Amino acid sequence: MVTEAAVLDALRHVDDPDLKKDLVTLNMIKNIVIETGRVSFDVELTTPACPLKDMIRNACVNAVHHFVDKSLEVAPNMTSRVTSNRQEKAVLPEVRNVIAVASGKGGVGKSTVAVNLARSLARTGAKVGLLDADIYGPSIPTMMGLKGSRPESSEGKMVPVEKDGIKVISIGFLVEDNQAIIWRGPMASSAINQFTTDVDWGELDYLIMDLPPGTGDIHLTIAQKVPLTGAVVVTTPQEVAAADCRKAIGMFNNQHIQVPVLGIVENMAWFTPDDDKSKRYYLFGKDGGRKIAQQFDLPLLSQIPLVERIMSSADSGEPLTEHVAVQLAYDQLAGEVARYVAIRNSAAV
């Protein structure tokens, strides 16, 4: 006779590879239903973007077959509840995780990475927001296909514009396209404060913040006023970008800021022509991002190839779904970011 206790005992042999504990101890097994010849249960993962989802599902099936009954039909239902380690919720009270996307210099594709990271997370079913904190060069409205959009107001707060299942706020929604934003640092920092306190973000699993390039007032304001879960630092392979990437990492590691760096993204890692996707041309050098990751003992979250479709996607505001290699790279990035967020959240408990 199959019992719930027997199923739970079997599943104690299945560990979450990242959290280093078994699924029962982690309270990830829910709603066990036992029927004649069949057992089903929910496996509540720490993120819908979990890259190990299929491996965990198969391990659950094998464990029940091995320790209970190999003739059973085993039906794990993979669900998720995104974790959070936020203690202070005066700012962004319903946001579980805030992830800054940063770069040491401009021109490395930071905003492109932020947009496509948000899209890949949203496709997994996560609730995602995108905050354009690049006050002086807001490009998110164009990249999201939202040029000309204006946020509405409700109960004294701005309501983000939604596209592709993502809630978006940018200073670009509030000024004309050709209007230069000539503000001193305190004014720009004040705008960032408003985007976090005066916007109705609602419940989010991940809020992606596209930071300005370099290091400056806005970065300091965000690090001190916004409860950042961690930062993703974007670089390209060449040394001039790598040198500035190191400075960005140093900024987050500064004792007055102390924001965890989740990992490195190497953008424009190689060029692949559309007429021969088997070729790779290392236009900007090779493995610069990997070397930085090794130097600082950080994960290399993804290497993003350079293809023409990325440019046209950014200009048109349409997703990259037509280009398989690039989409896979961004899906890998989303999975790795979600994974390291879950690891950090678990360690903070």
Supply the pLDDT for residue 323: 64
Supply the pLDDT for residue 286: 93
Q: What is the pTM of this model?
A: 0.91
For the record, the structure tokens of 139 come out as: 């490009």
Q: How many CB atoms lie within 10 A of CB 60?
A: 24
Supply the pLDDT for residue 135: 83
Phi, psi of 128 (to 5 degrees): -125, 140
* Residues across the chain: 349
Measured CA to CA in angstroms, residue 247 lies from 213, 215, 228, 276 at distances of 11, 8, 19, 37
**What distance in Å separates the CA atoms of residue 48 and residue 119, rounded to the nearest whole number?**
13
Weakly modelled stretches of the chain, pLDDT under 70:
88, 178-185, 320-323, 348-349
87, amino acid identity: Q
Do residues 45 and 19 touch, judged by C-beta distance below 8 A? no
Do residues 230 and 341 touch, judged by C-beta distance below 8 A? yes
> Counting Cβ atoms within 10 Å, is residue 169 exposed (0-12), middle (13-18) or buried (19+)?
buried
Give the chain's domains with CATH numbers. 4-80 (3.30.300.130), 95-348 (3.40.50.300)
Closest by CA to 269, choosing from 252, 293, 295, 296, is: 293
**What distance in Å separates the CA atoms of residue 89 and residue 227, rounded to the nearest whole number?**
8
Supply the pLDDT for residue 180: 66
For the record, the structure tokens of 339 come out as: 């994974």
Give pLDDT tens digits for 179-229.
Answer: 666 666 678 778 888 888 899 999 999 999 999 887 777 888 888 888 899
Do residues 232 and 97 touch, judged by C-beta distance below 8 A? no
Give pLDDT tens digits for 60-96.
Answer: 999 999 999 999 999 999 999 999 988 767 789 999 9
- For residue 335, the surrounding DSSP H or E stretch is helix 324-348
Supply the pLDDT for residue 200: 94
